[in-house]
């Protein structure tokens, strides 16, 4: 399997500095700063990119799991919310919420929840983020 890469450049001190993150694929390049990470300033931040990665991974994992169980979805849409909080004086990702909606013909709500929970546990990004104390899932059928 391929190795995926991204680069980040940071110039200056923590509060006054600025940075740029770039994906290997060149699909994204964006500035980041102290205000964009710890306040509501313009630009991106590592947590937003983690959220994008988790949402994308979970959507694919759920689609694959549904298809494998005989319920190919018409669509899966996921929003990930990454919570960054101070814990013992250190910025820490404390929680990730996955909010997913899927259009899946012929599936019961119970079977959908069973498959969705298994997809959350099996998603490679969920597994990589195992140190996050809480990863929740709210999944609903469209």
pLDDT band at 123 (very low <50, low <70, confident <90, very high): very high
Q: Is residue 1 part of a domain?
A: no
Residues 52 and 31 in one domain: no
Residues 91 and 123 in one domain: yes
Tens digits of per-residue pLDDT, 28-63? 999 999 999 999 999 999 999 999 999 999 999 999
The sign of the CA dihedral 2, 97, 51, 55 is positive
Looking at residue 133, its pLDDT comes to 86
Q: Tell me whether strands 90-103 and 75-87 are parallel, antiparallel or unpaired.
A: antiparallel
Residues 34 and 52 in one domain: no
Q: Which domain holds residue 82?
A: 46-141
pTM above threshold 0.85? yes
Does the pLDDT at position 1 exceed 90? Answer: no
Task: List C-alpha distances in Å: 66 to 78, 98, 99, 130, 135.
Answer: 15, 17, 17, 23, 20
The C-alpha atoms of residue 142 and residue 77 are separated, in whole angstroms, by 10
Please state the rounded mean pLDDT for residues 10-27.
Answer: 97
Report the CATH number that the domain containing residue 53 is assigned in CATH. 3.30.300.20
Residues 83 and 128 in one domain: yes
């Amino acid at each position: 399997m391929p190795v995926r890469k991204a680069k980040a450049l940071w110039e200056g001190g923590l509060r006054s500095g600025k940075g740029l993150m770039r994906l290997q694929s060149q699909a994204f390049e964006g500035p980041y700063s102290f205000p964009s990470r710890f306040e509501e300033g313009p630009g991106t931040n590592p947590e937003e990119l983690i959220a994008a990665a988790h949402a994308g991974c979970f959507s694919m994992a759920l689609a694959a799991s549904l298809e494998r169980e005989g319920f190919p979805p018409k669509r899966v849409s996921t929003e990930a919310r990454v919570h960054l909080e101070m814990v013992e004086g250190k910025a820490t990702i404390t929680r990730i919420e996955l909010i997913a909606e899927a259009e899946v013909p012929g599936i019961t709500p119970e079977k959908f929840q069973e498959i969705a929970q298994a997809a959350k546990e099996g998603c490679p990004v969920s597994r990589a983020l195992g140190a996050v104390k809480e990863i929740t899932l709210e999944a609903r059928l469209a």
